[in-house]
Amino acid sequence: MHIVVCVKQVPDSAQIRVHPVTNTIMRQGVPTIINPYDLFALEEALRLRDRFGGEVTVLTMGPPMAEDSLRKAMTFGADRAVLLTDRFFAGSDTLATSFALAMALKKIGEEFGEPSIVFTGKQTIDGDTAQVGPGIAKRLKLNQLTYVVKISDFDPENGGITVERRAEGGVQILSTKLPVLITMLEGSNEMRRGSLDDALRAAKAEVVKWNAADAGIEDLTKCGLRGSPTIVKKVFAPEARSEKAQAIETKDQSMEAIAHSFMAALFQRQPELEGELLRFAATQYGQEGLGHG
Amino acid sequence: MADAPKPNAGGSRAGTKKELPDHFKDYKHVWVAIECEHGVVHPVSFELLGEGRKLADKRGVELAGVVMGGSDEAIAEAIAATFEYGADVVYTVVDPVLAHYRNEPYTKAMTDLVNTYKPEILLLGATNLGRDLAGSVATTLLTGLTADCTELAIDDEGSLAATRPTFGGSLMCTIFTLNYRPQMATVRPRVMSMPERQEGKSGRVVSHPLDMGEEDVITKVLQFVADRETATAQLPYADIVVAGGLGLRSAENFQLVKNLAEVLGAEYGGSRPLVQKGWITADRQIGQTGKTIRPKLYIAAGISGAIQHRVGVEGSDLIVAINTDPNAQIMDFAHLAIVADAVQVLPALTEAFRKHLSVNRMAG
């Protein structure tokens, strides 16, 4: 059995700063990490491999430095890593990204065996779109299972899979046929600590590097900026609000006094809120209050 | 990912040509996908109708809602509501295959409708359903999709200008789909305001067949477990939200947030680090990568207010910050500030509200 996990190297968003004058992201010195949502996908893939046998390949598209993320994924136990890198991919939007990744996945299928499952995280922390997974599924005609909380049944022999999927207003239990694309929801598992053996193997392993031609991509007009129907026309910093917060007096005040000044300030700003709270209280604090609702 | 935030000066690439290809010239009107599951319309659909109305009026075209479902009875109320929230036309696809949301048949229904009736703009909610569907529809139609928009407008040339936060909200970018149709965008719940409902307003209904049998759909829904049976958080539509951050110092102290929430009849949540530390579950995360909230009152206790948190809460009517640091980022967007230790303030607030509400209720 072969499972492929698509990961992305992203800047650690907690440490991003925007240049105040040019409004550009200051990338220098910002550490890169594997998109945290992808780790849930990777862990789920490794668990299936540990139980059912087979191999896990990690795939990423990005600049040459994205190799670091692939090596990191191998320290957790991935068996093989493929880096898709080419200047033609620069500026890809979700449609162009899913095209390039789908082509690479086809090539991976030919070279290393058809994957039964392609995993992605639910979204990235830099783009936040959650659209590349569904894009890949559509292009490769994989059955699409997004926001998966749990794989409750997996039967690679007969090509069946049952999952719990986070839907609107509830959880769907879906059963479908392999091959599938799964986007894994955060919190669905916990990433293992890599073993020393895996760390040593990852340090020495050769990462497979493909450019567009290696991945079988002939039509470069479908890649990068040229293959992206969306155009970023304007980039700007979010507006700062000029109004300053009204501070409740806290100096030399007891907590009780602070709480009362706060309540007074709150109901002064939003008089109708007090009425709503009283109506709520009437329904909550015992029978005698019901008449006031 | 549409995350390369470099304005593109135009030039060689196909997408920047001003002239729309001929075969897209008859694409007209603004559409909103109406999310209707188990007979209930997701409120984000109405928020989108409000936004879609403005876009349609600016373009001088019709606003349409797309309603899909398993039977006429299941969608009757959704159709009526779609008109009352502003649509001129409703396109329906009704088939037992569509009784539960599944990617394959919903993608087919939507792409068939688009190819037949040709809208210039298609808006969907950035819910789990909307995001699952939007990516498949955009890829099938090979058109542009801008996810999680916070502002939609029509520019001077009549194109959809879709603005969204990127890099966790550190930057905003405005994105266009100039050469492809429809121009697709998703918007998260609670980002746009709810429009007025016009009781009794009606319009034209256009029905379209699905042309797909149950035997053609590989994925089966075995069961649906509704959240109301499992007490899952309902943050986006809560009127009052109390949330905690790392300033609470320990998982045990998070109980102080829950106590205040209980007295106020509020939902409770937290900032991203609390999810990472396991103090709260992911469905209670508030912010750019969690839930967007728009309550009448938001109390943030011990939350520093990083940009990714701010993006998810700034639609709140009144934001209260409780923080020991008067220079914390949250003070830049809070309306009321209590500069003190949240661990001490929260119990005092809980007690004060409990007394006030209990006494005045009796007096009332």
Tens digit of each residue's pLDDT (9 = 90 or more) over A19-73: 767 666 676 778 899 998 999 999 999 999 999 999 999 999 999 999 999 999 9
Residues of chain A with Cβ-Cβ distance to B290 below 8 Å are none
Residue A237 domain-assigned (yes or no): no
B355 to chain A, any CB pair closer than 8 A? The answer is no
Per-residue pLDDT of chain A (293 residues), as tens digits, is: 999 999 999 988 666 676 767 666 676 778 899 998 999 999 999 999 999 999 999 999 999 999 999 999 999 999 999 999 999 999 999 999 999 999 999 999 999 999 999 999 999 888 878 999 999 999 999 999 999 999 999 999 999 999 999 988 889 999 999 999 999 998 788 889 999 999 999 999 999 999 999 999 999 999 999 999 999 998 888 776 667 789 999 999 999 999 999 999 999 998 889 888 988 888 876 544 433 33
The Cα–Cα gap between B210 and B219 comes to 17
pTM: predicted TM-score of the whole model, two decimal places: 0.86
Name A153's bridge partners: A162
Interfacial A residues in 140-159 facing B (CB < 8 Å): 143-147
Task: Answer whether B1 sits within 8 Å of A281, measured CB to CB.
Answer: no
Look at residue A91 and tell me if it is in a domain: yes
Residues of chain A found within 8 Å of residue B189, distances taken between Cβ atoms: none
Q: Average the pLDDT over each of A147-151, B68-72, B110-114, B226-230 and give the range with the smallest value.
A: B226-230
The answer to whether residue A242 is domain-embedded is no
User: Both A137 and A267 in a single domain?
Assistant: no
Number of domains in chain A: 2
A136 and A267 inside one domain: no
* A216 and A83 share one domain: yes
Phi and psi for B169 in degrees, rounded to 5? Answer: 95, 0
For residues A56 and A181, membership in a common domain is answered with yes
Domain assignment present for A73: yes
Of B4, B226, B289, the CB nearest to A232: B4
Per-residue pLDDT for B6 more than 60?
no
Q: What is the pLDDT of residue A11?
A: 86
Q: B42 CA to chain A: closest CA distance, Å?
A: 8
Half-sphere exposure of A57 (CA within 13 A, CB side): 25
ipTM: 0.87
Residues A87 and A157 in one domain: yes
CA distance A12 to A9: 9
Which of A236, A247, A270 is nearest residue B318 as measured by Cβ atoms? A270
Q: What pLDDT, on the 0 to 100 scale, is given for residue A242? A: 65
Q: What is the pLDDT of residue A22?
A: 67
Check B15 against A228: CB less than 8 A apart: yes
Residues of A in contact with B134 (CB under 8 A): 131, 134
- Domain match, A259 and A223 both: no
Domain termination site, one of A172, A207, A227: A227
Residue B4 pLDDT exceeds 60: no
| Residues B274-327 pLDDT 10s | 998 899 988 899 998 889 999 999 999 999 998 889 989 988 999 999 999 999
Calculate how close chain A gets to B5, using CA atoms only, in Å: 6
Q: Is residue A241 part of a domain?
A: no
Q: Which residues are CB-contacts of B7 (< 8 A; sequence separation ≥ 6)?
A: A232, A233, A234, A235
Dihedral sign (CA A152, A158, A159, A160):
negative
Q: Which carries the bigger pLDDT value, residue B166 or residue A158?
A: A158
CB proximity B139 to A under 8 Å: yes
User: Cα separation of B293 and B149, whole Å?
Assistant: 15
- The answer to whether the beta carbons of residues B323 and B249 sit under 8 Å apart is no
> In order of start, what are the domains of chain B with their CATH numbers?
14-216 (3.40.50.620), 240-363 (3.40.50.1220)
The answer to whether residues A195 and A54 belong to one domain is yes
The answer to whether the CB of B171 falls within 8 A of the CB of B82 is no
Q: Which domain holds residue A259?
A: 255-292
Task: Please list every residue in chain A whose beta carbon sits closer than 8 Å to the beta carbon of residue B180.
Answer: 229
Q: What is the pLDDT of residue B307?
A: 83
In a domain, A217, yes or no: yes
pLDDT at A292: 36
The pairing of strands B183-187 and B318-322 is unpaired
Instruction: Give the CATH number of the domain where residue A171 resides.
Output: 3.40.50.620
Chain A residues inside the 8 Å CB shell of B344: 255
A133 in B contact zone (CB under 8 Å): yes
- The answer to whether position A249 is within a domain reads no
Nearest residue in A to B224, CA atom: A172
Structure tokens at A89: 């991919």
Among A18, A241, A243, select the one facing B170 at the smallest CB separation.
A18
Is A138 domain-assigned?
yes
* CA distance linking residue A108 with residue A55, whole number of Å: 12
The residues in A 80-119 lying below 8 A from B, measured between CB atoms, are 90-95, 97-98
pLDDT of residue A24: 67
The interface residues of chain A toward chain B in range 190-249, judged by CB-CB distance below 8 A, are: 221, 225-226, 228-238, 240-241, 243-248
